[in-house]
Structure 1
């Protein structure tokens, strides 16, 4: 019976170690949230000190120019038929979608080179059910002729019913049949409206009577050679006659319907007779033979500079 009070005394006696633990717990509960906040703020400050100052993203600016030397050209320095490595022909008398009146041939009777000049001649003669013959040359330019400078030096025919053209069509019609896949008319002239030379583009929205067109009066169109040029980039198509800017069409960035000009194109040279536009005031049969003459055709590749 004497041992029990001793046990009671042991239990009731204060324990210095337990008291210290209790004090530390209370202290931790008191300062814990503040300490955690202090540590978090200190960590944030450390991370922020290591980051470089904010720099806004750099906007790249692209500018376009053209090579000094042509990537493809024909100077027409070899007499006879056009170079078969550089040109082929559209042949036939189907009206070509414009109710034209000529039959296009692939002979030197209608396309011939002499003295450094290509001459495309329209004649009053019957062939394939048509009353006139002429020629329509199609370039074998590089398949990647996408953007660039296209320059042609030419002398145009005179006379009511003539419709010479220097123009471009797509290789693959990726957006569908004309006009969806685009057309670039570097030069068009109709004989009933002498001296007014036209630069135009066509697409799904801009075609026929709604096409984008500019006109420049060139009084010596039939007596002198003049330079007809297109500068074609992802941003715009610009037309120059004798280095004078006459036409600008900017990419509206609204889709292919108004900018199908992001595919490869080729060059055409032809002299049509009659047609919906060229023949709208008839044909003067006293003008034949008549001809469009071409001194050269040159294609310069586009160069992109990023700043």
Structure 2
């Protein structure tokens, strides 16, 4: 995610501290008995195929639980709020499924010394990819202090750390203050040992990213990464310089909804809970 990376979970476990874990021990939530979440019926849908490319992996979230072959939960508060002074406690119970959609719910509730809960899922050590077209169809939450993200970290993250592993933010949105109409696409890397980043954004002329489904995409190869909103390119980076070699390696996925933090700021009296990020599918296409 933008600004300071959320990579402290693994580092703390390696150091012998316990503040977060994969699948956390608090159990999956299939959504049974949970009130229905309103799911928009409108919005952009991406193609099922692209010329010269093959669909190599997808998760369309048609089950009732998180597919353990694809994803794990990361739980807890991380260190220093996952490196961003975030306010939520990540729990697997905040992940549910409805009508073929993954739903990550941010709630205002007391748990683990925090006032908010949410979920964070990762494909680390399960699904990783090097290059391709990635499409994620989703509806964003809304409200001051909400910070949804779909992003990637280099698969060598456990050994190299951040930012040397590289980070690709497919989409981020910060809620409140008129910001919910803007998607951000960013990369982070190590430039001779120092953190570097390059970011672009796209602001909708009408409505917000919470009103209906949009498709957030990247096209990534050995020379560049391009960002798209509903198949309209809005950002690109040339990755041919040697210091950007991080982006010629494999990456895994992360999806989460943070509450508060350095970038969005804290919720306030205008923020209503619960809030939901609704994901229809994640697809990866690669050249034939």
| TM-score of Structure 1 vs Structure 2, range by shorter chain | 0.7 to 0.9
Aligned to 1:298: 283
With the length of structure 2 as denominator, give the TM-score of the two structures. Answer: 0.74
For residues 170 and 159 of structure 1, the distance between their equivalents in structure 2, rounded to whole angstroms, comes to 30
For residues 222 and 126 of structure 2, the distance between their equivalents in structure 1, rounded to whole angstroms, comes to 18
Describe the superposition over 1:176-212 as per-residue Cα deviations: whole angstroms up to 9, x where unpaired: 3211221000100001322111011111239999621
Aligned to 1:46: none
Query: What aligned pairs does 1:57-72 form with structure 2 within 5 A after superposition?
Result: 68-72=53-57
For residues 298 and 142 of structure 1, the distance between their equivalents in structure 2, rounded to whole angstroms, comes to 15
For residues 225 and 116 of structure 1, the distance between their equivalents in structure 2, rounded to whole angstroms, comes to 14
Does the alignment pair 1:265 with 2:251?
yes
Contact map agreement 2:128 2:253 (CA 8 A) in 1: no
Q: 1:101 to 1:146 in 2, by over 3 A?
A: same
Structure 1: unaligned runs, 5 residues or longer: 1-64
Contact map agreement 2:70 2:126 (CA 8 A) in 1: no
- Number of positions where the alignment pairs a residue of Structure 1 with one of Structure 2: 232
Describe the superposition over 1:150-180 as per-residue Cα deviations: whole angstroms up to 9, x where unpaired: 1100110110000000100111138832112
More strand as a share of residues: 2
For residues 200 and 206 of structure 1, the distance between their equivalents in structure 2, rounded to whole angstroms, comes to 19
For residues 192 and 184 of structure 2, the distance between their equivalents in structure 1, rounded to whole angstroms, comes to 15
Q: For residue 62 of structure 2, give the secondary structure of its aligned residue in structure 1.
A: coil
1:225 aligns with one of 213, 217, 220: 213
Deviation at 1:264, TM superposition (A): 1.1
Aligned to 1:139: 123
Does the alignment pair 1:243 with 2:228?
no
For residues 68 and 188 of structure 1, the distance between their equivalents in structure 2, rounded to whole angstroms, comes to 26
For residues 250 and 140 of structure 1, the distance between their equivalents in structure 2, rounded to whole angstroms, comes to 26
Structure 2: unaligned runs, 5 residues or longer: 1-49
More helix as a share of residues: 1
| Root mean square deviation, CA, Å | 2.4
With the length of structure 1 as denominator, give the TM-score of the two structures. Answer: 0.70
For residues 225 and 277 of structure 1, the distance between their equivalents in structure 2, rounded to whole angstroms, comes to 24
